[in-house]
Amino acid sequence: MFDLLTAKFEDLFYKIRNKGKLSPNDLDSALREIKLALLEADVNFKVVKEFIENVKAKATGEKILESLTPYQHVVKIVNEEIIRMLGSSSSGVSFASRGPTIIMTVGLHGSGKTSSVIKLANFLKTKFQKKVSVIAADVYRPAAVLQLEDMAKNIDVDVYSENNSDPVAISVRGVELFKKSGSDVIIIDTAGRLHIDENMMDEIANIRNKTTPHQIYLVLDAMTGQEAVNIASSFNLRVECDGIILTKLDSDTRGGAALSVYYVVKKPVKFVSNGEKIDDFDIFYPDRIASRILGKGDILTLIEKAEKVVSEKEAKGIEEKIYRNELNFEDFVAQIRSLKKMGSIDKIFSMMPIVNKSKIFKKVNLDDSHLSHIEAIINSMTVDERRKPHIINGSRKKRIAKGSGNSVSEVNKLLEQFSKTKQMLKQFSGLKGKFKLPPGNF
Amino acid sequence: MQKLIKNLSYIWNKFKNDRESFWDELEEQMVTSDISINTASRILEEVKNHVYRENINNLEKVKSSLKQQIIEILKCNGDSKLNISSRPPTVFLIIGVNGVGKTTSIAKLANMFKKNGKKVLLSAADTYRSAATEQLQYYAEILGMDMVCHQKFSDPGAVVYDSVEKAKARGTDLVIIDTAGRMHTSYNLMEELKKIKKVICRRIGREVDEILLVVDSTTGQNARNQAELFNNSLNLTGIILTKTDSTSKGGIVITIKNDLNIPIKLITNGEKLEDICYFDPVRFTELIFS
């Protein structure tokens, strides 16, 4: 997500980076490029217009044309405007002060409501230790109830459903039942509907009136085009949404819908869903996303992810070993496994603060299977070899290559890579105290 | 589907005084219908040339020039009808990202051929999504057709193999294959589709008769990426544009046709099984201008 927008901004900033002074013409052409980049990213036309006007007004007001570092000024202004566009801070998760929290999800057909309901249920269950139950209020799409039931079973969450009944009645009875059974969170999964279908919009308004949800989330496909704003406005007008769940962020969408909706409807994106796996779901942090759009990476999320899979103690142990130059293949493979647990390599890379990432991306094929190859090679070593890599001689290499289904030259490549990494890390650890190695790094 | 150009007569006043701002406004309206900037400026370049060359000074003529350009892009050189093999079974493979309406479109397509007296078999090759098979099963039952399915998480290639074999044995005219929604950026899932395609080709001894990408008309510029990547992997034969009963204008198909030359073959526009029709560039263009 956002990759192309990021690439455009990087290019643009690169161009003006070394300019001592920025002429009004430079500024205009930079703004024109930003405008095109935003439009190509599906940001709503009106939003783009306003955005450009704001940046221009600020840039002129702050007299950046005369400043000595116009680059930093422009980046700062664009950064601020993007954060403003996305809403400035995360609104987080909120629960009812008394009794169960009732959540209703609404949205167009195929926006990903059912998957989001299950992912949200799982998120609240595992992160907040809540007892979550779901209500199947989509009686229209064939097998929709079955889908919800099947997915709920996998995460061990109760489902309320009825045959041949009306969604309002189902929701009311479901809420009553789960209130009695002591659920902390009750999520209502409604059918997909067009925002211009009056009868169907009445239906969700009725469900809302009868069940009074604490939170109503609009589920929005991140690939939606210019209409996103109208869709969000219509749903918001009828049921007053509290926030957006943005789905399908694992596509290569440039995510303009996300940028526009908050700006126009003033409802924040609360959660994002970005993969087929049940835990590909997270709280949305506008400032972190802005930083990613501008090519500055998302170190906070990266560190959080790393902390999830590597304990501080483990990280400390590795750091010590690096310092004493004792790093071996056992540590290496442990690091690879932690890295894999953090998600796919390209997702991790997209969070790193590297300039011109998009260009590097094109050259390096970031493939998870590459890691598996390395792992296979290491697995084919004896314990002794893993602990003391220097004993690996020609015949050992042959055996390792054969055992892991690789060629000797690949084994050589890994050994070389390993000793280089070791050297590099040794240098880093020389800065110990001044430079803290983030956990999970190798 | 809503009008592409809303207030042409309103902005027409500008044409006389400030031509540049008239064209800008026109471009703006095209972009808000999800036509890409590049396609919009290409179309406008042509219209401008035409208008200045012919010295046109009349709104209706500007409009018809614009329409003509769009029709020109959407028009197919060959036949836009679906390819039916002379050696049955004909096989259609239906693909697309998650949630665009693949299964519903398949039911509509199957119904259309059934009404023409064809014997249709549905193939449930989405073995991944919960209850996907049951959803297709529901349609197979109400339409009274055969359906081939395996267990959840089984190999979709095997489902497809069995479907084609069963169709051959039973003298079925048409096999329509439902696949799991997948992101066009997912390498593994695209490889899986290539394998499915290979299985079909081997069983029928020719190319797959139709490989149709389902595109949601609410999608923005990303639809072009979808079309490009699916096409790179599989050589699409056409596009089904869904959910055109929404307010979005589906302008992205103009960009897809312009950039990639993939024909739009069918559009769907409602929740009923009958809500599907062949794509007609002239009617489509009239519709967005009406």
Cα-atom radius of gyration of chain A, to the nearest Å? Answer: 26
Point out the residue among A110, A194, A253 whose CB comes nearest to the CB of B99. Answer: A110
Is pLDDT at B50 greater than 70 in this prediction?
yes
Average pLDDT of the residues in B31-58: 90
Which range, of A406-415, B77-86, B99-108, B265-274, averages the lowest pLDDT? B77-86
Average pLDDT of the residues in B68-82: 84
Residue A71: the pLDDT is 67
Is pLDDT at A226 greater than 60 in this prediction?
yes
pLDDT tens readout for residues B220-235? 999 999 999 999 999 9
Buried b (16+ CB within 10 A) or exposed e, A275-288: bbebebbbebbbbb
Retrieve residue A194's tokens.
């067009």
Interface touch A223/B97, C-beta < 8 Å: yes
CATH architecture designation of domain A101-294? 3-Layer(aba) Sandwich (3.40)
Cα dihedral sign for A279, A38, B242, A205? positive
Q: Higher pLDDT residue, B28 or A241?
A: A241
Average pLDDT of the residues in A177-181: 95
pLDDT tens readout for residues A73-96? 777 788 778 777 777 666 678 899
Is pLDDT at A355 greater than 50 in this prediction?
no
Residue A236: the pLDDT is 96
Interface touch B218/A248, C-beta < 8 Å: no
Which range, of A58-67, A282-291, A331-340, B245-254, averages the lowest pLDDT? A58-67
Residue A428: the pLDDT is 54
Average pLDDT of the residues in A56-78: 70
Say yes or no: A150 contacts chain B, CB-CB below 8 A. yes
Q: Is A409 helix (H, G, I), strand (E, B) or coil?
A: helix
Residue A233: the pLDDT is 95
Residue of A34, A35, A140, A253 to mutate when probing chain B, most B C-beta within 10 A: A253
Highest mean pLDDT among A432-441, B22-31, B256-265: B256-265
Q: Higher pLDDT residue, A304 or A241?
A: A241
Pair B93, B197: CB distance under 8 Å:
yes
The fraction of chain A above a pLDDT of 70, given in percent, is 74
Interface pTM (ipTM) of the complex?
0.89
Residue B30: the pLDDT is 87
Is pLDDT at A278 greater than 70 in this prediction?
yes
Reduce the secondary structure of chain B to three states and give it as a string.
Answer: CCCCCCCHHHHHHHHHHCHHHHHHHHHHHHHCCCCCHHHHHHHHHHHHHHHHHCCCCCHHHHHHHHHHHHHHHHCCCCCCCCCCCCCCCEEEEEECCCCCCHHHHHHHHHHHHHHCCCCEEEEEECCCCCCHHHHHHHHHHHHCCEEECCCCCCCHHHHHHHHHHHHHHHCCCEEEEEECCCCCCCHHHHHHHHHHHHHHHHHHCCCCCEEEEEEECCECCHHHHHHHHHHHHHCCCEEEEECCCCCCCCCHHHHHHHHHCCCEEEEECCCCCCCEEECCHHHHHHHHHC
Say yes or no: A108 contacts chain B, CB-CB below 8 A. yes
Please report which confidence band the pLDDT of residue B76 belongs to, taking 50, 70 and 90 as the band edges.
confident
Domain range list for chain B: 8-74, 90-289
- Search chain A and give the residue with CA nearest B224: A253
Please report which confidence band the pLDDT of residue A69 belongs to, taking 50, 70 and 90 as the band edges.
low
pLDDT tens readout for residues A297-339? 555 566 666 666 666 666 677 667 766 767 777 777 777 777 6
Residue A262: the pLDDT is 87
Highest mean pLDDT among A225-239, A262-276, B3-17: A225-239
Query: Is the domain covering B8-74 a CATH 1.20.120 domain?
Result: yes
Highest mean pLDDT among A5-19, B47-61, B164-178, B236-250: B164-178
Average pLDDT of the residues in B236-252: 90
Q: Higher pLDDT residue, A423 or B91?
A: B91
Q: Higher pLDDT residue, B94 or A89?
A: B94
Point out the residue among B100, B130, B225 whose CB comes nearest to the CB of A151. Answer: B130
- H or E, element range at A215: strand A215-221
CA quadruple A248, A254, A258, A263: dihedral, nearest 10: -170
The fraction of chain A above a pLDDT of 90, given in percent, is 35
Distance CA B37, CA A214 (A): 41
Q: What is the mean pLDDT of chain A?
A: 81
A3-86 against A300-430: fold identical: no
Q: A94 to chain B nearest CA, in Å? A: 29
Please report which confidence band the pLDDT of residue A363 belongs to, taking 50, 70 and 90 as the band edges.
very low
Residue B172: the pLDDT is 96
pLDDT tens readout for residues A6-40? 667 777 777 766 666 667 787 788 788 888 888 88
Which range, of A44-53, A358-367, B141-150, B222-231, averages the lowest pLDDT? A358-367
Which range, of A283-292, B44-53, B182-191, averages the lowest pLDDT? A283-292
Residue of A227, A230, A261, A370 to mutate when probing chain B, most B C-beta within 10 A: A227
Average pLDDT of the residues in B27-35: 88
Is pLDDT at A404 greater than 70 in this prediction?
yes
Please report which confidence band the pLDDT of residue A186 belongs to, taking 50, 70 and 90 as the band edges.
very high
**List of chain B residues whose C-beta atoms are within 8 Å of the C-beta of residue A116:** none
Point out the residue among A142, A224, A256 whose CB comes nearest to the CB of B138. Answer: A142
pLDDT tens readout for residues A159-169? 999 988 899 99
Which range, of A322-336, B128-142, B264-278, averages the lowest pLDDT? A322-336
Say yes or no: A141 contacts chain B, CB-CB below 8 A. yes
Is pLDDT at B41 greater than 60 in this prediction?
yes
Pair A224, B218: CB distance under 8 Å:
yes
Please report which confidence band the pLDDT of residue A232 belongs to, taking 50, 70 and 90 as the band edges.
very high
Residue A23: the pLDDT is 75
Query: Is the domain covering A3-86 a CATH 3.40.190.10 domain?
Result: no
Query: Any idea what DSSP says for residue A308?
Result: H
Which range, of A37-41, A235-239, A330-334, A434-438, averages the lowest pLDDT? A434-438
Q: Is A438 helix (H, G, I), strand (E, B) or coil?
A: coil
In Å, how far are A29, A37, A63 from A24, measured between CA atoms?
A: 9, 20, 11
Is pLDDT at B104 greater than 50 in this prediction?
yes
Please report which confidence band the pLDDT of residue A441 belongs to, taking 50, 70 and 90 as the band edges.
very low
pLDDT tens readout for residues A99-108? 899 999 999 9
Is pLDDT at B133 greater than 60 in this prediction?
yes
Domain range list for chain A: 3-86, 101-294, 300-430
| Of A39, A47, A6, residue with least CA distance to A289 | A6
Interface touch B221/A254, C-beta < 8 Å: yes
Interface touch B218/A250, C-beta < 8 Å: no
Residues 285-314 of A with CB under 8 A from B: none
Q: What is the mean pLDDT of chain B?
A: 90
Q: Higher pLDDT residue, B190 or A357?
A: B190
Q: Higher pLDDT residue, B54 or A349?
A: B54
Distance CA A348, CA A32 (A): 31
Please report which confidence band the pLDDT of residue A1 belongs to, taking 50, 70 and 90 as the band edges.
low
Q: A248 to chain B nearest CA, in Å? A: 8
Top-level CATH class of A300-430?
A: mainly alpha
Average pLDDT of the residues in A217-243: 94
Top-level CATH class of B90-289?
A: alpha beta
Please report which confidence band the pLDDT of residue A433 belongs to, taking 50, 70 and 90 as the band edges.
very low
Which range, of A96-100, A153-157, A253-257, A411-415, averages the lowest pLDDT? A253-257
Query: Any idea what DSSP says for residue A390?
Result: G
Is pLDDT at A155 greater than 60 in this prediction?
yes
